[in-house]
Amino acid sequence: MSIPAHIIELDKNDALSELRAEFLLHEGLIYMDGNSLGPVSKGAKRRVQETLEQQWQQDLIKSWNAHNWIDLPRIVGDKIAPIIGAKAGQVICTDSISVNLFKLLSAALAMQPSRRIIVSEQTNFPTDLYMAEGLAQQLGKSRCELKTVAKADIGKALTEDVAALMLTHVDFRTGEMLDMQAITQQAHDKGILVIWDLAHSAGAVPLALDLHNVDFAVGCGYKYLNGGPGSPAFIYVAERHLEQFNQPLSGWMGHAKPFDFAASYKPAPGIDRALCGTPPVLSLAALDGALEIFDDIEINQLRSKSQDLKVTLLEALAQHKLENESLKLITPTTPDKQGSQLSFSHPHAYAISQALIDANVIVDFRAPNIVRFGFTPLTLSFTEVYQAAEVLADILRRRTYLDGRFSERSKVT
Ligand SMILES: *Cc1c(COP(=O)(O)O)cnc(C)c1O
């Protein structure tokens, strides 16, 4: 496939192109799924090896102090803080998004004793809704009720009986990004606490949690932050709420003095109270190593390249006149409303995603009919994105996706 001169020029002028060498990705594989599972970086690999061979293997239990294992959730949290526009001391790395949402929703309800409604959006990531449902069931209807509305109706749903608004900033299906500042302000005007899920935002789009007065947030370690499979999530609690923030998963790691082994729980003074049990040290080491890359770059640079990469894909597809192919862009076309992915719907979306993967263009499928292209500017080149568009156009034109082998489904899709 010959690459047009203007695409080659874009790669030449790309200030981030050298970062690709920091990742262990094989040539020839076009990885457009860093929004689902970020690739392995050299930093992550080195930190895991060091933690295993020099710390666990050599120093065994002494490592909790000697290598600061005990402080890793906080150390890694403080590295994530600037990526999300937060001052240090408000972010800690622990558990999964699901578990952290349970902590935040519980604490937010307790902070709003005269209110009982949690508002969310009906196409939110299911686990977010499931966790709220579980809490509502546990507390009973008199104390908690989940109300889900369409995106367009969020404003109307913000009434004075609402305790907390829980939203995902970038929609995992459509890639639509919400206006965090405006919505947070709107909720605060009614006395509502706001919880943002940053799973598809952290490490991809500029965020200003402190500046926008966000109350609480959660985010993912294994997506754009490249922490690896099962990497712990992070939780953000604004400094002004830390003292009143009491979460029910009051495990010993969140205690003011875990090694006093006191009979009764007393929460740690700061963000450490968001912890529950023993930290997953190997996973935290991987995430810690993966975050090194973010030391030297501005999120604005990533955002700007991501926007250009998306334009490259759309322009290359437009050349192929695919109007009759039922492929429909479902991501908003306004750049300010886009996260770092483009999603297309198609009746054969699953088979198309399998045919793309077979041709070494790794994308993912989201039920029922979405093919999702993730744009991770740390590793992707303009040439690769152009090639991905050519492969997609070819699959559509030749109807390669009708081949039966592309319709078989595995457990994880
Ligand atoms: C990936 C993702 C999650 C994952 O939740 P875990 O509990 O960490 O598995 C949650 N919310 C959103 C919006 C996601 O995209």
Q: What is 106-121 written as a DSSP string?
A: HHHHHH-TT--EEEEE
Q: 274 alpha carbon to ligand 1 midpoint, in Å? A: 18
Residue with CA closest to ligand 1 atom 4: 97
291 neighbors 225 (Cβ within 8 angstroms): yes
Q: Please give the structure tokens belonging to residue 350.
A: 């699953």
The whole-number pLDDT of residue 413 equals: 80
Which atom of ligand 1 is nearest to 197's Cα?
13
284 neighbors 93 (Cβ within 8 angstroms): yes
Q: Concatenate the DSSP letters of all residues of 294-357 into one string.
A: GGG--HHHHHHHHHHHHHHHHHHHHTT--GGGT-EE-S-SSGGGB-SEEEEE-TTHHHHHHHHH
Ligand 1 site-directed mutation target among 172, 178, 283, most atoms within 8 Å of CB: 172
User: Cβ contacts of residue 52 below 8 Å, gap of 6+?
Assistant: 282
Mean pLDDT of all residues in 380-391: 98
State the pLDDT confidence band at 197, using cuts at 50, 70 and 90.
Answer: very high
Catalytic residue ranges: 125, 197, 222-223, 372
The whole-number pLDDT of residue 410 equals: 86
Which atom of ligand 1 is nearest to 99's Cα?
7
The whole-number pLDDT of residue 289 equals: 98
Q: 195 alpha carbon to ligand 1 midpoint, in Å? A: 14
The whole-number pLDDT of residue 409 equals: 85
Ligand 1 site-directed mutation target among 125, 235, 370, most atoms within 8 Å of CB: 125
**Span 60-114, pLDDT tens digits:** 999 999 999 999 999 999 999 999 999 999 999 999 999 999 999 999 999 999 9
Mean pLDDT of all residues in 324-336: 95
**Span 203-252, pLDDT tens digits:** 999 999 999 999 999 999 999 999 999 999 999 999 999 999 999 999 99
The whole-number pLDDT of residue 361 equals: 98
Q: Please give the structure tokens belonging to residue 258.
A: 């875990």
As a whole number, the mean pLDDT across the chain is 97
Ligand 1 site-directed mutation target among 127, 205, 249, 276, most atoms within 8 Å of CB: 127
Ligand 1 site-directed mutation target among 33, 95, 96, 97, most atoms within 8 Å of CB: 97
The whole-number pLDDT of residue 386 equals: 98
> How far is it, in rounded angstroms, from Cα 136 to Cα 117?
9
> How far is it, in rounded angstroms, from Cα 283 to Cα 222?
10
State the pLDDT confidence band at 324, using cuts at 50, 70 and 90.
Answer: confident
Q: 384 alpha carbon to ligand 1 midpoint, in Å? A: 27
Q: Concatenate the DSSP letters of all residues of 233-246 into one string.
A: -EEEE-GGGGGG--
> How far is it, in rounded angstroms, from Cα 162 to Cα 97?
22
> How far is it, in rounded angstroms, from Cα 349 to Cα 369?
5
Which atom of ligand 1 is nearest to 233's Cα?
8
Question: Whole-prediction pTM value?
Answer: 0.98
Q: 233 alpha carbon to ligand 1 midpoint, in Å? A: 9
- Is the pLDDT reported for residue 323 higher than 90? no
The whole-number pLDDT of residue 175 equals: 98
The whole-number pLDDT of residue 20 equals: 97
Residue with CA closest to ligand 1 atom 15: 199
The whole-number pLDDT of residue 411 equals: 86
Ligand 1 proximal residues by C-beta, below 6 Å: 96-98, 125, 127-128, 168, 172, 197, 199-200, 220, 233
Q: 315 alpha carbon to ligand 1 midpoint, in Å? A: 31
The whole-number pLDDT of residue 297 equals: 95
Q: 131 alpha carbon to ligand 1 midpoint, in Å? A: 11
The conformation of residue 381, written as its DSSP 8-state character, comes to: -
Mean pLDDT of all residues in 299-321: 97
Which atom of ligand 1 is nearest to 100's Cα?
7
- Is the pLDDT reported for residue 334 higher than 90? yes
The residue assigned the tokens 């729980």 is 265
Q: Please measure the distance between the N-terminal and C-terminal CA atoms of the chain and give it in whole angstroms.
A: 29
275 neighbors 216 (Cβ within 8 angstroms): no
Which atom of ligand 1 is nearest to 96's Cα?
8
Mean pLDDT of all residues in 267-289: 98
Residue 263's CB is within 10 A of a number of other CB atoms, namely: 5
Which atom of ligand 1 is nearest to 220's Cα?
8
Q: 411 alpha carbon to ligand 1 midpoint, in Å? A: 17
Mean pLDDT of all residues in 137-145: 97
Alpha-carbon distances, residue 70 vs 73, 82, 253, 348 (angstroms): 8, 22, 9, 49
